[in-house]
Structure formats: structure tokens, C-alpha cells
Amino acid sequence: MEIRKIAVMGAGAMGHGIAQVAAMSKFEVVMRDISEEFLERGMKNIQWSINKFIEKGRLRPEEAEETLKRIKTTVSLEEAVKEADFVIEAIPENLSLKQQVFREIDAHAPPHAILATNTSALPITEIAAATKHPEKVVGMHFFNPPQLMRLIEVVMGEKTSEETCKTTIELAKKFGKEPVLCKKDVPGFIANRVTAPGQNLIMWMVYNGEYTIEEVDAAVIYKAGMPMGIFALSDFTGLDISYSVLKFIEEREPNFKVSPLIKEKVERGELGVKTGKGFYTYPEKGKWVMPQIPPEKAERFDPMTSTYISINVAAELIRNNIATPEDIDKALKLGFNLPIGPLELADTIGIDTVLSKLKEISVKYGQYGDFYKPSPLLEDMVKKNELGTKTGKGFYKYH
Ligand SMILES: NC(=O)c1ccc[n+]([C@@H]2O[C@H](COP(=O)([O-])OP(=O)(O)OC[C@H]3O[C@@H](n4cnc5c(N)ncnc54)[C@H](O)[C@@H]3O)[C@@H](O)[C@H]2O)c1
């Protein structure tokens, strides 16, 4: 199927960026929002971003002009989608709103059109259920900002067809992006699902009084060599953002429990740097200073703790045929700017070591969710002596 015209629903943080990416990749774009004011703001943001591309020598001024000419705007949904080959929805994260908009898109778009949603967390299957063509509905999860982030998670709902998936992956590549395939719309898809439970475990450990926030961050900085501690980073991005991902997983994964440490802070409005207080206290609202943590606090905590959980969650995605090891590592590296993926790391550490750490964790923390119980795939790999680089085979093969 040839794609020429793309409609983008929403001109907000993600929508304007997606419209720009599509126009820079030479597609005709119509961007739709509910008021002229939002559309104008979206176009201003596109202009600002395009100027940055020119400043950095990544776009010539004449290309920039052509890119802008390819983007039309409208407040009419019908107008936006009536000739679209591909629709990308980036409206607020609200299931009933998305369902209503998908119902309308379905009524006005040509029958061959693919309808993609940029939802961060909602089930594709439930969004697709609002349409008469659920096989044409797919998740296309961009990362923020879409102009710069190379990862796109292509997510299948229960009824998404192979053909729809293939076309979406090809389109992502035409956008100059690196798509990964998530074959089931599990909460968190790949990148967020693999990382969030590990962070939650550490928050349980702190909540239960095993370690202090400073001990965790000190170990992450001074032992693992990360530029920032995980609690300091969470303050920086906003506790409400991390909490919404965790809360969503809790609602949809029967045994998963979010640590009260973050829940209580969010309820008190302590959201991090933007409110002046989160896990650390800042001089004033919005004023960031790096929390000072003495290196001697690094002794007790094992900074690999959240990595063991990431490996475990990833193993379950593989065992259930939801994602491949290559796509999981790619998603984590591109989504979170990591130098190495969790499964590449697992092979280096040794699957036997990972499994024995997970067994220790599961004794104390298995009650907080199935993510904290060792994956049968890891048990199997150990039985088969597929321990990673040391035996020549783990998640990957080594010669
Ligand atoms: N912001 C992120 O970091 C991020 C990352 C990945 C995915 N997402 C997802 O992308 C989606 C959009 O998020 P955002 O951060 O861009 O939100 P946003 O609030 O910045 O933008 C949403 C826009 O949609 C518009 N809108 C509302 N109803 C509409 C309708 N019926 N038709 C067209 N436009 C409508 C709003 O006026 C607004 O301009 C959400 O599902 C979100 O979960 C966000």
C-alpha cells in the first residue's frame, strides 16, 4: 500500500512533532486540533523546531520552506481525514475520548486508511473496538520529542492485521525512525514495561526501610557510573509522570502493587523540581540543583537491582512471543539513551547469576507482583546451560 497523505490528530506536544516528522519525510500532512489557537501554537512550535534543524545544518532553508508548505491545518475532522492514507492520533490520553475520535475517523476516512494511535499506555484493542475496521488500527508509539527520538514502538491490538503492522513499520522507517514490534498491547508496551517495575521495586525497598534514597542514588552514581541517581532523575522528570505509568500497570496487571513511597508524594503534590519538592528538596519551584550525595553512602545498595527486574520482565515478553530480544534491547537503548540493552547485559552477567538474584528478590518482594518472580524462561535457560557469553549462548549467540 502506498502512503501519500497523512492526517495527524492533535497539535500538542506530540502531534506537532509527528506532523513535522511526516512533512520532513516528504508526506502531505493535515494536522487537526479542536481550535485555531491550538493549531497556530502547533505551527509555531514546528517553525521553532525547523529553525533549530537549520541552525544545526540538518535542513537547508529551501527544504524547510517546502516542509512547511506540506503541512495544512484544519479544525474539521472530516476535512483532515477524508483523503488520508494513514491517520496518526495524538490527542489527550483518555480512552473514551480516543474511542469517540476513532469512531469519527472511521466514518470519514477512506476504507483503505490505517488508523494509528500514539497512546503511551491505553490498550489498542479497546481503542480499535470503537471502529468497524479493528484490523486497520495499530499503536504507533513515538517518544518525546518525536523530531529527535528515533524509537517508535509499533503495537498490535488483538485484531490488528499483519498487513497493517507491516505498513506501519515501513512508514516508521520512511520517517527515518527505528521501529520495534510489540505483538500484544500489554501495559507499558516494551520500553516502559521493562523499566517501570524495577524502579517500583527500589521504591518498595526504600519504603520498607531497607535503604535510604541517598544510598540508592549514591550507588547508582558512584558504583554504576550513571550521571544521575534514579530518585534525582525522577524529581527532574516529574513524579506524576512515573506514577501514571505505574498506576496504569497496577490497574491492568492483577498482582502488581505500586509502592506507597511515590503514591503518597504525588498525593501530597510533591512532584519533584517543578513543585520545589519531590524525593529531594529544591531551593524554589522549578529551580533544579543536583542533590549532593556523599560517595560513602554508595556501599550497601546493589545498583544492578532494577536491571535484574528489567531482564526478568523482558524474558517474559520473549517467552510469550510479544517481542524479540533484539527489539527489546533496541527499545531500551533508544528510548532511554542507554549504552547497552538489558539482555546484552544479562548475557554478560550470566543468566545463572541473574536467576539467583531474582530468586532472592522474589522471596521478599514476590508479593508485590509477578514481575518479581523469576521467569520460567530464565530457569529453562539455566537448565540448558544457556548462560550467556561464558557458554556461547544466552539471549544471543556468541562464536
Ligand atoms: N508527551 C509525551 O511525552 C508523550 C510521549 C508519547 C506518547 N504520548 C501520548 O500522545 C498523546 C498526546 O499527548 P501530548 O503530550 O501531545 O498531549 P497534549 O495535551 O500536548 O496535546 C493534545 C492535543 O490534542 C488536542 N485535542 C483534544 N481533542 C482533540 C480532538 N478531538 N481532535 C484533535 N485534537 C484534539 C488538544 O487540544 C491538544 O492540543 C497522548 O495519548 C499521550 O499519552 C505523549
Active site residue 356: no
**14 CA distance to ligand 1 centroid (A)?**
6
Kindly report the average pLDDT of the chain as a whole number: 96
Q: Where in the chain is the domain with CATH 1.10.1040.10?
A: 191-298, 305-391
For the stretch 339-381, pLDDT in tens is: 999 999 999 999 999 999 999 999 999 999 999 999 999 999 9
Residue list, ligand 1 pocket, CB within 6 Å? 9-15, 32-34, 38, 90-93, 101, 118-120, 142, 144
- Band of residue 254 on the pLDDT scale cut at 50, 70, 90: confident
Which DSSP helix (H) or strand (E) runs through 310?
A: helix 305-319
Is the previous residue joined to 145 through a cis bond, with omega within 30 degrees of 0? yes
Residue tagged active-site, from 120, 200, 234, 310 = 120
**87 CA distance to ligand 1 centroid (A)?**
14
Contact present, 235 and 297 (Cβ < 8 Å): no
- Band of residue 395 on the pLDDT scale cut at 50, 70, 90: very high
Q: What is the C-alpha to C-alpha distance for residues 284 and 275, in angstroms, rounded to an integer?
A: 8
**11 CA distance to ligand 1 centroid (A)?**
7
The matching CATH number, chosen from 1.10.1040.10, 3.40.30.10, 1.10.620.20, 1.10.1060.10, for 305-391 is 1.10.1040.10
Q: How far is CA 102 from CA 96, 129, 284, in A?
A: 10, 9, 42
Stretch 183-191: mean pLDDT: 96
For the stretch 102-118, pLDDT in tens is: 999 999 999 999 999 99
* Dihedral of alpha carbons 36, 237, 322, 148, sign: positive
**What is the grid cell recorded at 107?**
466514518
Q: What is the C-alpha to C-alpha distance for residues 102 and 137, in angstroms, rounded to an integer?
A: 9
Burial (CB count <10 Å: 0-12, 13-18, 19+), residue 168: buried
Active site residue 192: yes
- Band of residue 337 on the pLDDT scale cut at 50, 70, 90: confident
Given ligand 1 and candidates 21, 33, 105, which is best to mutate, with the most ligand atoms within 8 Å of its CB? 33
Residue tagged active-site, from 16, 89, 141, 375 = 141
| DSSP output for 228-244 | S-HHHHHHHH-HHHHHH
The matching CATH number, chosen from 3.40.50.150, 1.10.10.10, 3.40.50.720, 3.40.30.10, for 5-182 is 3.40.50.720
Residue tagged active-site, from 192, 234, 259, 312 = 192
Task: Please give the number of the atom of ligand 1 that sits closest to the Cα of 38.
Answer: 39
CATH architecture of 191-298: Orthogonal Bundle (1.10)
Which amino acid residue places its CA nearest to atom 27 of ligand 1?
91
For the stretch 154-168, pLDDT in tens is: 999 999 999 999 999
Report which residue type is found at 111: P
**226 CA distance to ligand 1 centroid (A)?**
31
Which amino acid residue places its CA nearest to atom 15 of ligand 1?
13
**What is the grid cell recorded at 314?**
523482558
Active site residue 337: no
> Which SS3 state, helix, strand or coil, does residue 196 take?
helix
For the stretch 266-287, pLDDT in tens is: 999 999 999 999 999 999 999 9
Active site residue 120: yes
Which amino acid residue places its CA nearest to atom 25 of ligand 1?
10
For the stretch 33-83, pLDDT in tens is: 999 999 999 999 999 999 999 999 999 999 999 999 999 999 999 999 999
pLDDT at 75: 98
Q: What is the C-alpha to C-alpha distance for residues 124 and 138, in angstroms, rounded to an integer?
A: 6
For the stretch 296-336, pLDDT in tens is: 999 999 999 999 999 999 999 999 999 999 999 999 999 99
Backbone conformation region of residue 174, classed left if phi is above 0, alpha if psi is from -120 to 50, else beta: alpha
Q: Which residues pair with 141 in a beta bridge?
A: 153
**322 CA distance to ligand 1 centroid (A)?**
26
Strands 71-74 and 28-32: parallel
**84 CA distance to ligand 1 centroid (A)?**
20
Which DSSP helix (H) or strand (E) runs through 32?
A: strand 28-32
Q: What is the C-alpha to C-alpha distance for residues 281 and 272, in angstroms, rounded to an integer?
A: 8
Task: Please give the number of the atom of ligand 1 that sits closest to the Cα of 91.
Answer: 24
More reliable by pLDDT, 241 or 155: 155
Which DSSP helix (H) or strand (E) runs through 9?
A: strand 5-9
Say what angle helices 213-222 and 230-237 make with each other, to 10 degrees.
100
pLDDT at 241: 87
Contact present, 303 and 345 (Cβ < 8 Å): no
Q: Where in the chain is the domain with CATH 3.40.50.720?
A: 5-182
